[in-house]
Chains A and B, each alone.
Chain A
């Protein structure tokens, strides 16, 4: 197969700039993992069903396996690594997952976290039904979801507390 033309892709990921040249058929999920070395974004089904590869593109949750890396040119990406960098404490959402046993093997967890981040920003006090609907685009084969629902409820509460404390 002939070599494909390469295209420049430049943007930011978790606040840091990146610049690469990519084949257009390179999926964003593979770009993040193999080119940028951020392996927290997991690849499950590669057809948009499992949600493990969910990242934020300009603040909105998207399947990174259903985007080409070249389409991220000029855009802002956020992955699970951006939630808590270096020695910083865990993000309240991560802390809630730990406290409530919202994960077992952890493979699906980055996708859940990145789906939930914009959800809780938009809906800081979700009902259980709304939480379950928000989780419907992510598959977890370990927990049976109840612990994840508990974790989201706890995270929502601690994020609200942090918001109130910040406002005072």
Chain B
């Protein structure tokens, strides 16, 4: 189908965007890569009366190191992040995950900020942002505020951003000494929405003990889910097959309340979550014992 009529704005400066979103509130939608919004408009599931095209704004597409964080501008194309050597070096979890995000044709347009602000429960990047503990720089005419990942995602397609706010950039912590990460997902075909996905970040000390774990899950709830109970099992423990199994079981049984649909039943999603968390944790711990490299 074709999208309904809308008022189109193509501002060239972020101040104009902030003025437009302040003026139009929830009537207006920012258009980033359009890879989720335009299909929704074509289906007429979304009918924004005002569309604010962010593609002509300079300065929202940069990838830069700032202290111990990697700042990624909201309009950075997913493909640019995937191809960035800097990203591979300092936030390898992003590089490992991006090939799982849809298809190259989608990643050529799709943006990091668009995916995070859209907060699709089946999207990979929100789960990665949770696992890494990213910080979201959210801007409005009232100023800029920083929202932690744990507070940013707020249910189905919903974030902590107000109607007059725009996601400007996202800060991902640079991989620390002793930190290892891993990602995996199961989908029916490569590039399809995943039935379940797992992003893991572990801090392992020099004796091999797991100091801290963060496990982000996708497709098992209203939004990305942080598997807090599974992480508690790991904290302060020396990893073993037994420990990993028990953490994975907590993730599959206690951390999630997954939906059932034609693609996977509730029980199957719990089973997949347990299996994938076990495999992904094992992969990450193996990286830790190999000195951080795969």
A residues lining the B interface (CB < 8 Å): 1-2, 4-5, 7, 23-25, 27, 30, 46-48, 51, 54, 57, 60-63, 65-68, 70-71, 115, 119, 132-134, 136-137
Contact = CB atoms under 8 A, between A and B. Distances in A.
B39 A48 contact: yes
B106 A60 contact: no
Contact of B8 (A46, A65, A66, A70): A70
Given A48-B35, A136-B103, A1 B55 contact: no
A112 B74 CA distance: 30
B5 A25 contact: yes
B105 A51 contact: yes
B42 A119 contact: no
Given A66-B35, A70-B8, A60 B108 contact: yes
A68 B75 CA distance: 17
Contacts of A47: 39, 42-43
Given A25-B6, A48-B39, A63-B109, A137 B104 contact: yes
Interface residues of B, number: 29
B42 A136 contact: no
B79 interface: yes
Interface string B30-55: 00001100110011000000010101
A137 B189 CA distance: 10
Given A46-B42, A119-B104, A136-B189, 8 more contacts: A24-B8, A25-B3, A48-B38, A51-B105, A60-B108, A136-B103, A136-B190, A137-B102
B34 A60 contact: no
A66 B190 contact: no
B145 to A, nearest CB: 30
B2 A62 contact: no
A122 to B, nearest CB: 9
**Which of A24, A27, A61, A115 has its CB near the most chain B CB atoms (within 10 A)?**
A24
Contact of B51 (A2, A24, A119, A134): A24
B264 interface: no
Contacts of B7: 5
B88 interface: no
Contacts of B190: 132-133, 136
